[in-house]
Amino acid sequence: MAFFFNLAFTVVEVFGGLWTNSMAVLSDALHDLGDSLVLGAAWYLSHIAVRGRDGKYSYGYGRYGMLGGWLTALVLAVGSLVLMVFTLARMHAGHQPHAEGMMALAVFGLAMNGIAAWKLHGGSSLNEHGAFLHLMEDVLGWAAVLVGAVVIRFTGWGIVDSLLSIAINIYVLFNAVRTLRKGTGILMQRLPEGIDGEAITMALRALPHVTGSHDQHAWSLDGEYVILTVHLEVDTTDAEERAQLTASARELLQRMGVNHATIEMERPQDLCELAHH
């Protein structure tokens, strides 16, 4: 329902922006199109992401869950740059938007997003809270369009529309680039946010029977699920002590934010080709 609501509202904004000759309204339409793409991708990819492991995807399909957001951010970044170019061109042409039409669209946008935000206000889940904050951003955006339309109506300063459009596009571009950076970090297996690699190394080496460690790697599957692999050098060959050490290491890593750990144990005198890579 959220996907179809945003998609329908985007269509209204596109036609409204063309009708009022307002780049600010068209820029906000791009923002809502991004919302629609994110919701649509999440809707589709969530069904793929929950699949279990198989012969082709040994870690499962969880990374598909963040792929839609990354691709959408790329589309939004390009779209906002294109709209800014068109806006700057219109500034030189001295275009004049239809102020009354902008005011009507802004009131409609405020009402629709305000009702949706009110319904989600006070929600207990993280998803509800995140959606509420996003809807409040839309409410503030439409409030800015309404103020701009009133200014244009009583002053005739058409440049206000262009300035609003540029501000909205800069905001969209900033968030798109931030999402792209985060998504690219996940795809390139960057150390996940909130994971302190050095602290993990020190904590593991402080465990009983551990004399050293190497070949430690940590990455995120989808931005939330953290995976870590490590080789531990231990001074015991007793099976029970090793089993207890493995359990202690897994419990320690779980407390430090690791969801899936692969631990390999070696004797200090063993030659490991990965120790120097």
pLDDT tens digits along 109-167: 888 777 777 776 665 544 455 556 566 777 777 888 888 889 888 888 888 888 888 88
46 vs 3 pLDDT, higher one: 3
CATH number, domain 197-276: 3.30.70.1350
The pTM of the full predicted model, rounded to 2 decimals, is 0.69
Q: What is the pLDDT of residue 143?
A: 85
Query: What residues contact residue 41 under an 8 Å CB cut-off, 6+ apart?
Result: 67, 68, 69, 71, 72
Domain chopping of the chain, boundaries: 2-187, 197-276
Structure tokens at 199: 């602290």
Domain 2-187 adopts which CATH fold? Answer: Alpha-lytic protease prodomain-like (1.20.1510)
HSE-up of 198 (CA within 13 Å, CB side)?
Answer: 0
Q: What is the pLDDT of residue 49?
A: 63
DSSP state of 182: H
- Do the first three CATH levels of 2-187 and 197-276 match, i.e. the same topology? no
Q: Is the pLDDT of residue 62 over 80?
A: no
The average pLDDT across 188-194 equals 90
Would you say 155 and 97 are in contact if contact means Cβ atoms under 8 Å apart?
no
The average pLDDT across 87-107 equals 80
Structure tokens at 118: 């009110």
Q: Is the pLDDT of residue 84 over 80?
A: yes
Comparing 80-84, 187-191, 201-205, the range with the smallest average pLDDT is 80-84
Residue 54, judged by CB atoms within 10 A of its CB (0-12, 13-18, 19+), counts as exposed
pLDDT band at 265 (very low <50, low <70, confident <90, very high): very high
CA distance 2 to 252: 40
- Strand duo 226-234 + 210-220: pairing: antiparallel
Would you say 190 and 219 are in contact if contact means Cβ atoms under 8 Å apart?
yes
CA distance 181 to 135: 23
Residue 38, judged by CB atoms within 10 A of its CB (0-12, 13-18, 19+), counts as buried
Task: Tell me the helix, strand and coil percentages in the chain, rounded to 5.
Answer: 70, 10, 25
Residue 161, judged by CB atoms within 10 A of its CB (0-12, 13-18, 19+), counts as buried
The average pLDDT across 194-207 equals 95
3-state SS class at 4: helix
